Chains A and B, each alone.
Chain A
């Protein structure tokens, strides 16, 4: 449960004639993690070559992907899965090619149309400019000795052009100014030179006859018909999208796997007649893998090379390519949900404790303690349950997990420990202060008897009540000590597993001993200086024990990491323990906000006095306004609770806790497998 699954290394040797069956069998097993062969790793072996079918598969995949892109189909498109055998029969009956003809024809039409519309738009723009000049289109060209220069300008060039030729200018700052100059052929460069000083940009005069306006009407008509046609094509695209999306997505998935299978030989060692596959399989499946492969395929032999131990020395004794053992995390349905925070750091190594189980205990617990309020807990549980049921995205699922389980803890703490909902106690003394209780607000007198039976002081722990603050701070420190002690112990355990007890203790025992010493010092000083429960001379035995632990730890740390680390470890232990006071501090900050907001909404807006002796004059309109404000303000605290509660709970895991033992940087166990998302495996079809 804590260490990742035990792995065994196998070697599969077979004749090249049965490589296709072997690849199929490996994919069916879904528990073989391939070790990539490196060139020159073994004498006489080379990398294999792709299977003969793989160019065809790659070509088809390219076609499918390009069609998907053209039709706007992507991985978020909702499609119905199709059974694998049906997809395969369709692929082999050239469905991809026939669909491609259909799609390609439409896409070509769409592209042509888009180009035509762009051209027409450009022409229309030129014509609109030319329409402002009193010249017909056919008069711009067709002369022997006269040329026309037409274009846009920024300033009026009439004066500068002088009597060079005849010029027509229409100035318009908003839509652009146009000039048309008619000069003799020899003067054309001269005219262009002059014009260039006025920000001249030449435009091509569209061909045509008659007045510009007639031509413009014609272009408008063409454009309208083109746009209409574009709409038709768009509709046809949508029809094709609907018609082929299921097939294309499923084919994409099937072809991707086929492509992977086809190129698999280049990841393994082969000779002219045989191939050799090195692979990792989970130890408890090695016999199954061996017997399945050998019974299915006659010309193949499977050798179980080793069951890899967790010892670092055993790993280092191996060749480099066999040193990295893939990590297969072992989790049930619930702890699996908490893999996300672990993976956020890194994948655990093969020979270290996978912290996911510990995170799944403490993360929701801390979150729940920081929220500690029934009123916020219930929406958290509902939202979390909804997210777990419907969310697909791993980020959202991780958040929903914390909200759901954290919400349950928040409810438990809120109900049984703090006795609070929305920042107000259920029951309690109602006096001249600014606090309210639910029993007082809703006139529920029988609540008292119910809650008094199990809540501390009859009304639960007040988060910002001076009677409880000291207790809460101590509690959070104790939680920190326990959590960190687990962290240090796991660190020690990891090293013991990797290097044996002696080496493990020498490396990780020091910090643990220093930590114990620091805890004892903290206990003695806290109870004598702050709590005044011990006299100074009474704490001397404690200090003696603490110094003994710290000294022993210091010796070990100095040997393993050097003298500087002693100081770092000691300060770290103090700082880390105090860091857990955030459990209370964040709860208090939210309770403080809730107290203020409740007084604003209930006391100031609704006008209900917290003092039962004062009769309050309450108007229904103010109650409605007060309730609205109450909801908005509490929604704000609730949102802040997700951010601060969630992040700080996570941070305590990732920073304070995991740094004590976690190394990570493992490789995830990634077996050869057909991941069915848009297709249905034939096995499932048969079962159904």
Chain B
């Protein structure tokens, strides 16, 4: 017997991570392009460029946290 509620939670968690990932990707796309340009100009920028690259990863981490809460905390409620 498959538990529909549990399945829906898993789908929700997947959507949370997936959409957040797309958002991060869209933000990183532009930063990445600019970062590569900056590094080509001056390779000393690598550190700063990497720093800016990981800035939007907060978005996907929020998604991941929601997914974790959904997977681990919701079923117990």
Partner-B contacts on A (CB < 8 A): 344, 395, 466, 469-470, 473, 530, 532, 575, 578-579, 581-582, 585, 588-589, 647-648, 650-651, 654-655
The reply to whether B77 and A532 contact each other, CB–CB distance below 8 Å, is yes
The reply to whether A473 and B68 contact each other, CB–CB distance below 8 Å, is yes
The reply to whether B51 and A647 contact each other, CB–CB distance below 8 Å, is yes
The reply to whether A579 and B61 contact each other, CB–CB distance below 8 Å, is yes
The reply to whether A530 and B47 contact each other, CB–CB distance below 8 Å, is no
Known: A470-B73, A530-B69, A530-B73. A585 touches B61 (CB 8 A): yes
What does the 1/0 interface line of B53-69 toward A look like (CB < 8 Å)? 11101100110110011
Task: List 10 A-B pairs, minimum CB-CB distance, nearest first.
Answer: A469-B72, A466-B72, A582-B61, A581-B65, A647-B54, A585-B64, A585-B61, A651-B54, A579-B58, A344-B47
> In whole Å, how far is B38's beta carbon from the nearest beta carbon of chain A?
14
> In whole Å, how far is B45's beta carbon from the nearest beta carbon of chain A?
11
Residue on B nearest A399 in the bound complex, by CB = B47
Residue of A470, A581, A650 touching B61 (CB-CB under 8 A):
A581
Residue of A395, A532, A585, A655 touching B65 (CB-CB under 8 A):
A585
The reply to whether B73 and A588 contact each other, CB–CB distance below 8 Å, is no
Judged by a CB distance under 8 angstroms, whether B29 is at the interface is no
Residue on B nearest A650 in the bound complex, by CB = B51
In whole angstroms, how far apart are the Cα atoms of A466 and B62 in the complex? 18
B interface residues, how many (CB within 8 angstroms)? 20
Judged by a CB distance under 8 angstroms, whether B50 is at the interface is yes
> In whole Å, how far is B27's beta carbon from the nearest beta carbon of chain A?
14
Q: Which residues of B from 16 to 60 have beta carbons under 8 Å from A? A: 47-48, 50-51, 53-55, 57-58
List chain B residues, Cβ under 8 A from A395. 47
List chain B residues, Cβ under 8 A from A588. 64, 68
The reply to whether B55 and A655 contact each other, CB–CB distance below 8 Å, is yes
List chain A residues, Cβ under 8 A from B55. 651, 655
Partner-A contacts on B (CB < 8 A): 47-48, 50-51, 53-55, 57-58, 61-62, 64-65, 68-69, 71-73, 76-77
A-B contact pairs, 23 of them (CB 8 A): A344-B47, A344-B48, A395-B47, A466-B71, A466-B72, A469-B68, A470-B72, A473-B69, A578-B65, A579-B58, A579-B61, A582-B57, A582-B58, A582-B61, A585-B61, A585-B64, A585-B68, A588-B68, A647-B51, A648-B54, A648-B57, A651-B51, A655-B55
List chain B residues, Cβ under 8 A from A469. 68, 72-73
List chain B residues, Cβ under 8 A from A585. 61, 64-65, 68
Residue of B51, B53, B65 touching A473 (CB-CB under 8 A):
B65
List chain B residues, Cβ under 8 A from A579. 58, 61
List chain A residues, Cβ under 8 A from B51. 344, 647, 650-651, 654
List chain A residues, Cβ under 8 A from B77. 532
In whole angstroms, how far apart are the Cα atoms of A654 and B76 in the complex? 37
In whole angstroms, how far apart are the Cα atoms of A469 and B76 in the complex? 12
Identify the interface centre among B58, B71, B73: most chain A CB within 10 Å of its CB: B58
> In whole Å, how far is B1's beta carbon from the nearest beta carbon of chain A?
20
> In whole Å, how far is B56's beta carbon from the nearest beta carbon of chain A?
11
> In whole Å, how far is B37's beta carbon from the nearest beta carbon of chain A?
19
In whole angstroms, how far apart are the Cα atoms of A14 and B57 in the complex? 60
In whole angstroms, how far apart are the Cα atoms of A426 and B62 in the complex? 31
The reply to whether B50 and A647 contact each other, CB–CB distance below 8 Å, is yes
Residue on B nearest A531 in the bound complex, by CB = B73
List chain A residues, Cβ under 8 A from B48. 344
In whole angstroms, how far apart are the Cα atoms of A579 and B59 in the complex? 9
> In whole Å, how far is B19's beta carbon from the nearest beta carbon of chain A?
16
Residue on A nearest B53 in the bound complex, by CB = A647
In whole angstroms, how far apart are the Cα atoms of A360 and B58 in the complex? 23
> In whole Å, how far is B15's beta carbon from the nearest beta carbon of chain A?
17
List chain B residues, Cβ under 8 A from A344. 47-48, 51
In whole angstroms, how far apart are the Cα atoms of A160 and B58 in the complex? 74
Known: A473-B68, A585-B68, A648-B57. A578 touches B47 (CB 8 A): no
Residue on A nearest B44 in the bound complex, by CB = A395
List chain A residues, Cβ under 8 A from B54. 647-648, 651
In whole angstroms, how far apart are the Cα atoms of A379 and B70 in the complex? 35
List chain A residues, Cβ under 8 A from B50. 647
Residue on A nearest B47 in the bound complex, by CB = A344
In whole angstroms, how far apart are the Cα atoms of A648 and B72 in the complex? 24
> In whole Å, how far is A220's beta carbon from the nearest beta carbon of chain B?
44
List chain B residues, Cβ under 8 A from A578. 62, 65
Residue on A nearest B50 in the bound complex, by CB = A647
In whole angstroms, how far apart are the Cα atoms of A582 and B54 in the complex? 12
> In whole Å, how far is B29's beta carbon from the nearest beta carbon of chain A?
18
> In whole Å, how far is B53's beta carbon from the nearest beta carbon of chain A?
8
> In whole Å, how far is A472's beta carbon from the nearest beta carbon of chain B?
9
> In whole Å, how far is A561's beta carbon from the nearest beta carbon of chain B?
23
Residue on B nearest A340 in the bound complex, by CB = B47
> In whole Å, how far is A664's beta carbon from the nearest beta carbon of chain B?
14
List chain A residues, Cβ under 8 A from B71. 466
List chain B residues, Cβ under 8 A from A648. 54, 57
List chain A residues, Cβ under 8 A from B62. 578
In whole angstroms, how far apart are the Cα atoms of A578 and B50 in the complex? 22
> In whole Å, how far is A366's beta carbon from the nearest beta carbon of chain B?
13
In whole angstroms, how far apart are the Cα atoms of A458 and B53 in the complex? 40
Residue on A nearest B64 in the bound complex, by CB = A585
In whole angstroms, how far apart are the Cα atoms of A34 and B71 in the complex? 63
Residue on B nearest A466 in the bound complex, by CB = B72
In whole angstroms, how far apart are the Cα atoms of A318 and B19 in the complex? 55
Residue on B nearest A651 in the bound complex, by CB = B54
List chain A residues, Cβ under 8 A from B76. 466
> In whole Å, how far is B49's beta carbon from the nearest beta carbon of chain A?
11
In whole angstroms, how far apart are the Cα atoms of A582 and B61 in the complex? 6
> In whole Å, how far is B77's beta carbon from the nearest beta carbon of chain A?
7
In whole angstroms, how far apart are the Cα atoms of A470 and B51 in the complex? 29
In whole angstroms, how far apart are the Cα atoms of A530 and B70 in the complex? 11
